[in-house]
Structure 1
Amino acid sequence: MTVRTTTLDNGMTVITDTMPHLESAALGVWVKSGSRSETAEQHGISHLLEHMAFKGTTTRSSREIAEAIESVGGDINAATSIEHTGYFARVLKDDVALAADLLADILQNSVFDETELVREQRVIFQEIGATLDNPDDHVFDKFQEAAYPNQPIGRTILGTEDSVRTFDADAVRSYMDQHYVGDQMVLSAAGNVNHDELVDIATNRFHDLKPTGAPQPEQAHYVGGEFKEISDHEQAHIVVGLEGRAYNSDGFYAAQILSSILGGGMSSRLFQEVREKRGLCYSVYAFHWAFADSGIFGIAAATGAEDVEELLPVMLEELRKSADDITDAEVSRVRAQIRAGLLMSLESPSSRAGQLARQHILWGRPIPLQETVERINRIDAERVRHIAHKIFSDTRPAVAGIGPVQRMPDYSRIVDSLK
């Protein structure tokens, strides 16, 4: 595989990873703009824009966009996250130019028709309602809000019905003009692609792109706190976390390894102690979400009302113990898991295209596999124990619980148990 990078005069970056043995290619445009780029008045507009991009351009209707990609057996989609938005397609090798043209069309020539906008707002209202009905999703929104209250990074990606209802076509268009600028955008492709041909397409189709000028997101400020909602759901959904590490921080890889040791699979400490040994829940896991300037280390589980009171102290005790007795054998096992995951991801052109784009957005360049492996291999048990001590003692926890959580320990007890 050969990775090539070209930066256009308008600041846009084109990255390709050529895999000539494949018959297909994945490509997309990733924008360094997500929900944390929004002001309070713009809450949810990044996600609405992602929807509206497919609703018609000056040259194609929404139906014609769908028919163009599906007539060659391809697919096209998009996704909004906290820090970026991606628009991507998967096609056969002979249809890369068509896919690139479609992506350029929806990102340069969308008309944002008012009728389509009202219709899509209704679709998003349904999406918001579905999330509110699903405690598995809703508890994480409330957890993020408890971690980063009154900040863009702590608000939901979808927005609220009230906020989304206020947006008109001019608001969506203005937001796109502000944030979708050259130096914030990456055209990434992997598979059977020709780098020079893709550069030519990008040069021709994005020539009117403003090169710079996007506002910088508000700095994240982790706070911590508690959200609890008693409801009649069968399961109590609980998430507990503390401030993690940013992508560029010294402790990022150690925190990733720590989360895998604690709750990254069936051999993890939480799975073995909480589920296998005690039978307190069906699902339990740990996670580490890294952002450009902050991060969250957390654990999540769902259990019945009768086990809530026992579950949380057991989970917290596993966190506390990990700061003292993580072993080299555990670190070695997780390093092998991470390396295997990285190698497997390279076999998927879609995964690889997205990975390259995100690496450029976060670090300003593609990161060679060997460099990543070397960084991971430098992490030993002592380093993981050190980061565990720092994470579990330096900040107050963020806690969210939804369901029959009447017997969930008080927030003060959770704070004390992590000291």
Structure 2
Amino acid sequence: MKKKSEILPNNICFITHQLEHLHNVSVSVSFKAGSLYESKYNNGISHLVEHLFFRQLSDLSQESLYFNMQKIGGEITGKTYCDYVTFSINVIPQYLYDALDIMLKFFDDFEWSNSIILKEKEVVLRQIENKAYSYNQWIDSIYFENTKYTLPIMGTKKTVKSLTAFEINSWKKEYFSPANSCVTITGNFSNEFYDFLKQKLSIINNFGKKQAPIIEIAPNFTKRNSDNYLTVINADSKLSEVVVLFDIKNSFDYESVKLITSILSDGCGSKLSMIMREKYQLTDDIFTQLTSYCGFHRYSISYTVKNKNIFNSIDILFKIINEIKTDITLNEYASTIPFFTDNQMIDLDNCQKLNEDYVLSDFILDILPSDPIEKAKKYKKILINDLIKIANEIFVKENISFIIETSINPSNIKSFLDNLMYH
């Protein structure tokens, strides 16, 4: 059975991929919820609901839930992102029906008592107290200023404490509902199990409603200019943190974007690493990330450099980018393309990763999910000329912004960058 994606009569998104060579099966239940759907007043409610499912799952107490999943060698994991909440379990095929009995309880219509909510609030409050402010959060707080992407997924101590049992149970009923869900199963299951699962899902009462995707575009997205492209943060250090961000429209071919950014910056043999780190020893490492959001993508390059070398490092970075806009060698292409063609087959042995990819692409980003074989075919069609074309479309000044933490005078930073990009 090939990968299938369908919408059931009760609006459940149902994605399956049968892989009979595996010795395990991954089942996930996901919902469109998270901080993007919240306000500054109920921020953190989706994350709290995720926690509460583990405190009580329908008729299963916390102790019973843990026993029932551990006796089949499984652990349900729950994750809350800004745009969805997902629960998943990975088991061997003989325990699949038992796992399904547990996972279908996420659709049961039940409520949590105030005493249970108060207990779980204390757990979440301890998490908030112990949560470190991450590097990515620092970048997002600047890049996504005044958008919902700056809301913390866990909420704040104030918002979590203020949530009432009525608000929490109402949120569960509206957002954690069949109409707003996606069930994904990948791995070694039979045709008979597929039919059984589809029938079980189809008879679930339809309540709630499918939430529309929320698109929160960063301020000045693809409209960067000399007045808004730079944020300089003062730091008393001999080192500077440089972050270069590229706005990427959703209309660009994602596979081409992924491939060109990989040639530029992924791995020890990438153009950036070979020149900035190996040739000139300007930095110890270069961190890059291509992140997909609903409606757009963002590509980031970040590194640490001595203050005395910051201007030289940025100048070299831009020379490398300009070079890739005119020429990509056969060696650069040949040393990158196997990761996106041949290595796609590795994902066929990882049903948990496939589940995550299918939920993100089909349910959240509204992109028809591609299995690894389909992805490989897409990448094989991309030619060097296609990559040069996409490089000239995304690596332009209207898409570029900087976040720089340094002790260097901000006016000197801006003067240098203005001259580099606008003169």
TM-score (norm 1): 0.84
Q: Partner residue of 1:153?
A: 149
Provide the residue aligned with 1:214 in structure 2: 211
Report how many residues are paired: 409
Change (3 A) 1:53 1:257: same
1:6-405 to 2 correspondences below 5 Å: 6-109=6-109, 111-133=111-133, 137=134, 139-193=135-189, 194-204=193-203, 207-210=204-207, 212-223=209-220, 229-230=233-234, 237-246=241-250, 249-303=251-305, 310-361=312-363, 362-363=365-366, 365-395=368-398, 397-401=400-404, 405=406
* Distance (whole Å) between structure 2 residues aligned to residue 95 and residue 39 of structure 1: 40
Q: Distance in 2 between matches of 1:128 and 1:227?
A: 28
In structure 2, the CA distance between the partners of 1:70 and 1:368, relative to structure 1 (3 Å rule), is closer
Q: Aligned pair in 2 of structure 1 residues 376, 118: CA closer, same or farther (>3 Å)?
A: same
Q: 1:370 to 1:192 in 2, by over 3 A?
A: closer
Tell me the distance in 2 between the aligned counterparts of 1:165 and 1:234: 42
CA contact (8 A) 2:271 2:320 kept: yes
The C-alpha deviation readout for 1:196-246, integer Å capped at 9, x for no partner, is 122233235xx1332635254245244265555556799755432020232
Distance (Å, rounded) in 2 between the aligned partners of 1:233 and 1:74:
48
Partner of 2:224: none
In structure 2, the CA distance between the partners of 1:301 and 1:165, relative to structure 1 (3 Å rule), is farther
Are the aligned partners of 2:231 and 2:404 in contact in 1 as well (CA < 8 Å)?
yes
CA contact (8 A) 2:344 2:373 kept: no
Residue 374 (structure 1) shift: 3.1
The letter for the 2-side match of 1:210 is F
272-281 or 309-318, larger mean C-alpha shift: 309-318
Structure 2: how far apart are the matches of 1:162 and 1:415?
Answer: 42
Q: Which amino acid aligns with 1:354?
A: E
Give distance in 1, aligned partners of 2:162 and 2:419: 43
Write out per-residue CA displacement over residues 38-87 of structure 1, whole angstroms, 9 at most, x where no aligned residue. Answer: 33434333323222221213411222212211122111102222332211
The one-letter code of the counterpart of 1:161 is: K
Q: Distance in 1 between matches of 2:305 and 2:121?
A: 35
| Secondary structure at the counterpart of residue 217 of structure 1 | coil
Cα 1:73/1:111, change in 2 over 3 Å: same
Q: Which position in structure 1 is the counterpart of 2:225?
A: none
1:75 is paired with a residue whose SS is coil
**Pairwise CA distance, 1:188:** 0.8
User: 2 CA distance for matches of 1:344 and 1:238?
Assistant: 34
Counterparts of 1:376 and 1:338, CA distance in 2: 6
Q: Counterparts of 1:401 and 1:200 in 2: how far apart (Å)?
A: 55
Question: d(CA) in 1 for partners of 2:282 and 2:152?
Answer: 30
Shift of residue 89, structure 1, vs aligned partner: 0.4
Letter in 2 for 1:150: N
**Counterpart amino acid of residue 374 in structure 1:** K
Name the TM-score, length of structure 2 as normaliser: 0.84
Alpha carbons 1:288, 1:298 under 8 Å: kept: yes
Bigger-Rg structure (1/2): 2
Q: Is the Cα–Cα contact under 8 Å of residues 213 and 294 in structure 2 kept in the other structure? A: no
Shift of 1:110: 5.8
**Cα pair 1:146 1:398 within 8 Å, conserved:** no
* Structure 2 Cα separation of the partners of residues 391 and 62 of structure 1: 49
Unaligned runs of 5+ in 1: none
Measured in 2, the distance between the counterparts of 1:269 and 1:129 equals 41
**Residue identity opposite 1:243 in structure 2:** D
Determine if contact 1:20/1:192 at 8 Å carries over to the other structure: yes
Do 1:140 and 1:239's aligned partners in 2 also have CA atoms closer than 8 Å? Answer: no
Q: CA deviation at 1:305?
A: 6.2
8 A Cα contact 1:48 1:121, kept in partner:
yes
**Paired-residue identity, %:** 18
| Structure 2 residues without counterparts, runs of 5 or longer | 222-228
Query: More displaced, 208-217 or 182-191?
Result: 208-217
Task: Give the letter aligned to residue 407 of structure 1.
Answer: I
Task: Tell me how far apart the structure 2 counterparts of residues 396 and 154 of structure 1 sit (CA, whole Å).
Answer: 20
